[in-house]
Amino acid sequence: MLVTSWVWLLLTDFASFKPALLPEDNPADFSYFFDTSRRRTCYVAPERFQMTSAAQDGSAVPMSQSMMVETFIPPYQLTPPMDIFAAGCSLIELFTEGQAPFDFAQLLSYRSQEMANSPVIEKMEDSAVRDLLLNMIQLAPEKRLSAEEYLQWQRGNVFPECFYGSIYEYMQSLTQPQWGPADSKMDKLHRDLPELIDDLSSTEGGLLIIANVVLSSLRSLQYSSSKLKALAILHQLCPHLADEIILDRILPYIMHMMSDGSSRVRSSTLKLLTASLFPVRRLPRSDANVFSEYILPIITSLAQDSSGLVRCTLAQHVADLAEIALKFLELSHWRVEASVTTPTSEIPGGALNWCNTNGFESELQALQESFQTLVSSLLTDSDSQVRRTLLEYSVAKLCVFFGRQRASDVIFSHVITFLNDKNDRHLRGSFFDCLAGVASYIGWCCAPICQPLLQQGLSDGEEFVALKAVESMIGLTQLGLLPKATLLGLLHDAASFLLHPNRWIRYAVVGFVSCAARNLNAVDVQCRLAAILDPYLRYHVVQMDQESLLLEALQPPISRGIWDNVIKCSDIQLLLSTLAERLESRKTGKDWIPHPAEIGGPIKTLLRRLGSEGLNSATEEQLLRMKEILFKLQRHKSIMDQNKRTWNEQGVIQLGTVKSRSVDLHSTEMLMKAMVYYAQLQCQQPDRAPSFENRTLGDHSPASFVQMNPEWLHMFGPPPASLPDQQRKEFDSAEILQPEAEYRPLRVNSSILPCNSELQRLLARRTAQEHVSALARRMVASGVEARAFCVKAPNWVPKGVLIAHLHEHKAAVTRLVPIGNTSYFASGSMDGSVKIWDCVKFEGRNVANRSRQTCTRMGSGITSLTTVQSGASLASASNNGMIHVMRIETGSCTTRSTLVHHRQLDLNQEGSVVDLQSLDYGNQSVLVYATLMGSIVGWDLRSPGVAWKLEHNLRHGVITSMCVDPSQSWLAIGTDNGVHICWDLRFRLPVASLNHPGGSRVLRLLSHPTQPSCLVSAVNNNNEISIWDWENQSRTLALWASPTPPLSSFQGSCHNSYGAFIGCRVGGHNKPFILSGGSDLRLRYWDLFNPEQSTLVSGGAYDAVKKQDVSYDLRLVDGVEVIQETQQPCAPPIATHGVYSDGLGSSPGLAGIHNLSNTKASPPLGITMTDYNPPSGHADVISDITMVQGSQSYIVSASKDGVVKVWK
């Protein structure tokens, strides 16, 4: 008999065989089949024990012998009454807290009627349950009823009415295979919960069954969404459950969920804890300390939770938890004769007996101290949202809980510091929202503190906060917490806001005035209050307690345009003094008015702007009446500006208002001359430290420039007198030099900090070095040489001559990478090896073309390869999640590689590496890798950690390729959904995205050598390669090598360009070109400067068409320039000596290619081209292409059969 945790009784048997009858004279059979636990409990029906059985000849045979030969005459079968007896014994054990009704000896005595009944059953208090179980364990099987008859007999007594409704069928449906996982079961319960509550809320115990199902499944839930649904179910069930059920069954599971890994689950658990304990009105004596010893330590630890959501939820409900703790403490100290079903405040005095008053006070003090620690942690939380939530939801209730003294010491002393948070206006507004509630509990003693706080709120630069401050004055006035002197002082400060352009502030001040008029006597209203208000009213108002009369009598407010311009004025004092002089001249009757030309430049401009906004004499008088407020707002604004100019937490200097100077840098040569000259100047004076005290940008004396940092001198330019004559002439002539045709003048705006004595010498030097480094990076990246591989011959075109056939790899070659500015290149393969080759060795009469170095320590297939540290090291990524960085040492005789860095990625969390790129500038080298799970990580090779990390949104697709702009300003990624996303590396944010019209998978990304804002993208199908412009968000050029109409959205050709390389021919004009190769086994040269000169470098190993049969032309399709390949009809391939000719034509398809290539053996390793002439074209899919500079420019291509070919 099995009883599940959600109260479902199951009949089960784990044994493959058990006899129907047992010998009474041999307990060994019972022990073997039924007593595997050795508890000696026996719940087998008495009629299953027999002494003997009849043999076939009619003689008596011992029962033990009959079992062995299985000679039952007649065959004896199990009957339902036997199961009823076993079920009754199991239920007796449940109802008696684990006491077994029978052991083996007692059951035999019960069978022989030596014992009337089990002594355990007499201990049961419920008579209905006792009668049911006595009937179920009757000795005579015919007197036992069936299960259905027992349900009908005890309906409404033992079995609640809910058993006879739909609950049985519903619970049975949960045992079906489709609802096997706990998460699926929870989804069904959450979906059906409203109907279940409607059906079962009227019956006793019906919803308890549902709660048991939820609790039994809670720990086995896998998904956070399922856990949230389970908590929501319990939240709705708690109001319908008894207090004992909540405390004994639900509370332990709630506390267990407090340590869940999901912050949303922990937050919802806190809400459930409050909602479940709030309605509890009966506290058993065993649970008297449940809150102080069990609940409070766990929720106190949540105040330091890493998630701001959890801390906000705790701040929202901490006051409710404090009330619940106080209620539990009171319930534990009240001895109630009857069941307490009403709140403690409503319990009649005759039913209560108060005991141990001293113990209650000590426990209350300990409880308040515990909550004081918790609340203090929330009040000092670094997240302003947590403090704001605490103010809005819990502060007033916490004051009641702590008492007047603690409320003043703990709450009020902390919340007044919130006004110092200048970054969160909502926090300051929330302070004024709760000020009246806190002050109402503390009393009159807080009035002297409230007045400066309210005045500070009125002078806040945010109008929202000023409005909240006025509303707080209204609340304090209604409560009578402001003395007359304080009230009149606040009225004097707030009255000028009757001219404020914000309508809500004016309405709030009118409400404050009318509320004050109702609390002051008539003499104070007419004598003191009227004197304050009359300057702001068009006529005198007698009934100042009427808001409508005051609103009607108000003067027109200052316009918003005038107010904003005055607030932004840098010198309000000068502006107001000017307006006062103009007002005085009008009062004296003089016609003279200060002329705008006699006023300073900024004030003259401001007065003209104010005049255009409608400034007149009346408005000037209103501005003068608000003089004090304007001065306070100006001081507040200056403090905010001062904070913006200081260092922030990340150590960044705000340079918004710093003066700047522009320098024209027309040529790299002049820049390099200046850098060399000032570097020499610095070396000549190593002991001279840069001094910028009392210096301005206008001070260009030679002495000042000698003392300045030389890099700063270079950026801002020295005076002509401070340079030698020859160099001064060079710099002077640089200003009138005309740039060459392919160069454009580069204007660099540089900024110098207003250095003063507060800035340390180290800060100035490091800032200057960073400016020079950034400038150098921009200058280097502006050259074509830094952006792509450059061919020095301006008319270079690949001839398609194969000079090396390399077949050392045993699996597909995935990536080719040139190593720095050398003749070396590296190849990575799925066989787990990285090989280093030297193109110089392929020239001349070498006996064998072999790799210079082979690295096999990766342990798995190579997925990506790149060079780092300016080509001195090689980084590889394998599909087992390993990244290796090897130092490459090349020499005339040998080449060595040394492992310097390695990193293992978690394949479950991050996935394998998709692509590798490098960021090299100065002595800093950052390896950038993109993973399958969407992480883009920058790894600074100088430190073991992560320099920065970007998270790609996987809804755009899985990352398939990545490239980094050589100027190191942006990074681009491509996905399998055809989405291109540009990340700004300065701010590390996605700034632009481009979608391929057909959603084709991105195969390879490259940066354009001559157009820094363009991206080259090779995508799936039609051998398509497109050039996209980030600035225009459009496609500017497409390369199309497919018979399908250009830019077609349907798939006309299944061939893809897996390998792509972009370079540039230097000389005269910079002429970019692209090399591509892919699944059609052809190697193409695309001339972007002169498309008609594009050509086929090499066809597949068994192509039949010649080069002259393929042509390229430029056309315009839908506003996009397209270079399209056109192929003329060709003859079938011709077999020569058993091998197809190496002409160019359409390939026979991958399957045919593999079959043809398998018919011809690969050349042995080390055999030269003179001994064996393989087909010049590739026999498998081209996987990558690169170029290497030796004595001439070489093209290197690789394919998936492990072959590497070198062309010229």
d(CA 500, CA 479): 27
Contact 418, 391 (CB under 8 A): yes
Distance CA 68, CA 70 (A): 5
Instruction: Map residue 526 onto helix, strand or coil.
Output: helix
Which amino acid appears at position 518 of this protein? R
- The whole-number pLDDT of residue 29 equals 74
Per DSSP, helices labelled H in 479-553 are 484-495, 503-519, 522-524, 530-533, 547-553
Percent of the chain at pLDDT > 70 equals: 75
In this predicted structure, the answer to whether residue 712 has a pLDDT above a threshold of 60 is no
Give the whole-angstrom CA distance, residue 253 versus residue 244: 14
Is the pLDDT assigned to residue 595 strictly greater than 80?
no
Distances (CA, A) of 241 to 20, 60, 609: 44, 61, 71
User: 286: how many CB neighbours lie within 10 A of its CB?
Assistant: 9
Q: What is the pLDDT of residues 342-362, one digit of tens each?
A: 444 444 443 344 445 567 788
For residue 106, name the pLDDT band (cuts at 50, 70, 90).
Answer: confident
Mean pLDDT, to the nearest integer, of 286-298? 85
Q: What is the pLDDT of residue 1138?
A: 35
pLDDT digits (tens, 9 = 90+) for 1093-1133: 899 988 888 777 777 788 899 888 887 899 988 887 654 44
The C-alpha atoms of residue 962 and residue 972 are separated, in whole angstroms, by 6
pLDDT of residue 785: 58
pLDDT given at position 66: 43
pTM of the model: 0.49
Of 175-184, 583-592, 1026-1035, 1160-1169, the range with the highest mean pLDDT is 1026-1035
Under 8 Å between Cβ of 225 and 255: no
Q: 957 pLDDT band (50/70/90 cuts)?
A: very high
CA–CA dist 395, 401 (Å, integer): 10
Strand partners, 53: 61
Residues of 689-713 as b/e, b for ≥16 C-beta within 10 angstroms? ebebeebeeeeeeeebbebbbbbbb
Nearest CA to 395 out of 1146, 386, 539, 993 is that of 386
Given 3-state DSSP classes, what are the helix, strand and coil percentages for the chain, each rounded to the nearest 5? 45, 20, 35
DSSP 3-state of 86: helix
pLDDT tens string 214-260:
888 888 888 889 999 999 999 988 888 888 888 888 999 999 999 88
pLDDT band at 600 (very low <50, low <70, confident <90, very high): low
For 476-531, the pLDDT digits (tens) are: 999 888 888 889 999 988 998 998 999 999 999 999 999 999 999 988 888 898 89
The predicted pLDDT at position 733 comes to 38
pLDDT at 893: 63
Lowest mean pLDDT among 270-279, 645-654, 786-795, 1120-1129: 645-654
Per-residue model confidence (pLDDT) at position 866: 93
**CA distance linking residue 10 with residue 411, whole number of Å:** 57
Token code pair at residue 140: 């005579």
Residue 615 confidence (pLDDT):
84
Q: Are 1156 and 1031 in contact (CB under 8 A)?
A: no
DSSP assignment letter at 1107: G
Once rounded to an integer, what is the mean pLDDT over residues 380-403?
A: 87
Give CA–CA dist 1092/797, Å, rounded. Answer: 12
Ranges of H-type helices in 568-616? 572-588, 601-612
For residue 103, the model assigns a pLDDT of 84
pLDDT band at residue 690 under the 50/70/90 scheme? very low
pLDDT of residue 897: 79
Query: Quick one: tokens of 823?
Result: 């003749």
pLDDT value at residue 149: 87
pLDDT for 442: 79
Taking CA atoms, 78 is separated from 19, 22, 45, 480, 1063, in Å, by 9, 12, 10, 86, 88
| pLDDT tier for residue 287 given thresholds of 50, 70 and 90 | confident
Per-residue pLDDT of 1053-1095, as tens digits, reads: 788 889 999 988 887 678 899 999 998 889 999 998 888 889 9
* Sign of the torsion formed by the C-alpha atoms of 298, 304, 310 and 316: positive
The chain-wide mean pLDDT, for the chain, equals 77
**pLDDT band at residue 1192 under the 50/70/90 scheme:** confident
Rounded to 10 degrees, the C-alpha dihedral 384/390/395/398 comes to -130
The closest of 683, 673, 705, 682 to 692, measured between CA atoms, is 705
Query: What's residue 268's pLDDT?
Result: 93
Tens digits of residue pLDDT in 185-208: 888 888 888 888 887 776 667 788
- How far apart are alpha carbons 29 and 48 in whole angstroms? 12
pLDDT band at 766 (very low <50, low <70, confident <90, very high): low
Is pLDDT of 705 > 60? no
Instruction: Decide if pLDDT at 728 tops 60.
Output: no
Residue 791 has pLDDT above 50, yes or no: yes
Q: Is the pLDDT of residue 911 over 50?
A: yes
Residue 272: pLDDT band (50, 70, 90) is very high
The answer on pLDDT for 745 being more than 50 is no
pLDDT of residue 727: 42
Confidence of residue 773 (pLDDT cuts 50, 70, 90): low
Starting at the edge strand that comes first in sequence, how are the strands of the sheet with 824-829 ordered?
A: 813-818, 824-829, 834-838, 853-855
Dist. CA 35–CA 243, nearest whole Å: 39
Cα distance between residue 877 and residue 904, in whole Å: 10
- Res. 453: pLDDT tops 80: yes
Helix, coil or strand: residue 570: coil
Q: Decide which of 536 and 337 is more confident.
A: 536
